[in-house]
Amino acid sequence: MTAWHPDPAWVSAVRASANQPPRAKRLPLVAGGAAIGSVEPGFLEQITRSSAEDLRRLLLKIEQNGVVGWHLGGEVTATLGCLAEALRSAGRSPAWRNEQLAVCDEAGHRLGTVERALARVLGIRTRAVHLVGARADGRVWVQQRAFDKPNDPGLWDTMVGGMVAADDTVLAALARETAEEAGLALDALQPLAHGGRVFTHRPTPDAGGAGYMVEQTDWYHCTVPDGMEPENRDGEVARFALLTQGELLARLQRDEFTTEASMILAKWVG
């Protein structure tokens, strides 16, 4: 495959888009002395005022060493579950997914889990996985995200992308997402190789703009055999397209792709 190089100014703009400060200084969300996320000022005050007494006892706004933050009491998963239900009842959570994501401290040690819908509202670090699928001739399969998705509806993306659930390894998540989004078996896409990681820190529209995305994405690349085509199975993809490298570059630089896909594809082809 002949490498081509996107406009450096465009690459810089994509990187800047992926790393933006929050719209307001956020308060740390703490469990067992470890920061697990962050919340917008005033956001949880609205919830605790109208929530059950049990939650008010488990979620305390405390100043320690000159830093004001929200501290979780009790078992992490259970307390975050109570908070998730309170936010859901108050209409402050995004679309409910019934999927648990891991909650880790800054060193990566798992402390519990949280409903996926609340991860970005609470600024909790998440993990994702993407797959770049190309034909042997260098053409690239990409997907257009469904227009009813809560995040980046209608934008273009890598062939496969999704979250790593609490009970998944990265490769298990990749296999599941590849089957659901593209209708393909991972072991039929060879050679499969890890391409690297990209990191995102930016505000999101969740809960009226109160969300903040902190995400690590592992991306892989593979060859899709001739005669094999992706076919969506979960309703989250509007369509697939097979693009030449020139077509892909033009669409990338017209900002038709998600920020994460743009970073990944820029690395893959560079």
Give the pLDDT confidence of 250-260 residue by residue, as tens digits. Answer: 999 999 999 99
Question: What does residue 240 show for φ and ψ, rounded to 5 degrees?
Answer: -110, 155
pLDDT tens by residue, 195-221: 999 999 999 988 888 899 999 999 999
Label residue 52 by pLDDT band (50, 70, 90).
Answer: low
**Is 135 a domain residue?**
yes
Query: Is 250 found in the same domain as 179?
Result: yes
Q: Which of 68, 84, 119 is the last residue of a domain?
A: 119
Q: What is the pLDDT of residue 152?
A: 92
What does the radius of gyration of the chain's CA atoms come to, in whole angstroms? 20
Label residue 177 by pLDDT band (50, 70, 90).
Answer: very high
Q: Which of 71, 96, 119 is the last residue of a domain?
A: 119
Q: What is the pLDDT of residue 1?
A: 42
User: Can you read off the two tokens belonging to residue 249?
Assistant: 């570059």
Q: What is the pLDDT of residue 270?
A: 72
Span 13-30, average pLDDT: 95
Query: Is 132 found in the same domain as 114?
Result: no
What amino acid is encoded at 22 in this protein? P
Q: What is the CATH number of the domain that holds 140?
A: 3.90.79.10
pLDDT > 70: percent of the chain: 97
* Residue ranges with strand state E in 116-210: 126-134, 140-145, 156-158, 160-163, 193-204
Q: Which residues contact 89 (CB under 8 A, 6 or more apart)?
A: none
Find the distance separating the first CA and the last CA of the chain, reported in whole Å: 11
pLDDT tens by residue, 107-120: 999 999 999 999 99
Q: What is the pLDDT of residue 265?
A: 96
Span 42-65, average pLDDT: 81
Query: Is 99 found in the same domain as 208?
Result: no
Q: Which residue has the higher pLDDT, 165 or 3?
A: 165
Query: Is 261 found in the same domain as 132?
Result: yes
Q: What is the pLDDT of residue 57?
A: 83
Query: Is 250 found in the same domain as 132?
Result: yes
Query: Is 263 found in the same domain as 131?
Result: yes
Indicate if the pLDDT at residue 41 is higher than 80.
yes
Q: From the centroid of its chain, how far is CA 264?
A: 13
Residue 18 host element (H or E)? helix 8-18
How many helices (H) and strands (E) the chain has is answered by 9, 13
Query: Is 156 found in the same domain as 107?
Result: no
- Whether residue 129 contacts residue 172, with contact meaning beta carbons closer than 8 Å, is answered with no
Query: Is 144 found in the same domain as 101?
Result: no
Query: Is 134 found in the same domain as 80?
Result: no
Q: Which of 73, 102, 119 is the last residue of a domain?
A: 119
Q: What is the pLDDT of residue 223?
A: 97
The verdict on whether omega for the bond into residue 191 sits within 30 degrees of 0, i.e. cis, is yes
- Whether residue 91 contacts residue 81, with contact meaning beta carbons closer than 8 Å, is answered with no
Label residue 96 by pLDDT band (50, 70, 90).
Answer: confident
**Is 1 a domain residue?**
no
How many whole angstroms separate alpha carbon 94 and alpha carbon 192? 34
Containing structural domain, residue 236: 127-269
Label residue 85 by pLDDT band (50, 70, 90).
Answer: confident
Number of domains in the chain: 2
Q: Which residues contact 173 (CB under 8 A, 6 or more apart)?
A: 129, 162, 163, 164, 165
Query: Is 159 found in the same domain as 224?
Result: yes
Indicate if the pLDDT at residue 178 is higher than 60.
yes
C-alpha distances (whole Å) from 209 to each of 27, 45, 95, 257 are 15, 16, 14, 21
**Is 17 a domain residue?**
no
Indicate if the pLDDT at residue 26 is higher than 80.
yes
HSE value, Cβ hemisphere, 13 Å, CA-based, for 118? 32
Query: Is 48 found in the same domain as 173?
Result: no
- When the pLDDT of each residue in the chain is averaged and rounded to a whole number, the result is 92
Query: Is 252 found in the same domain as 155?
Result: yes
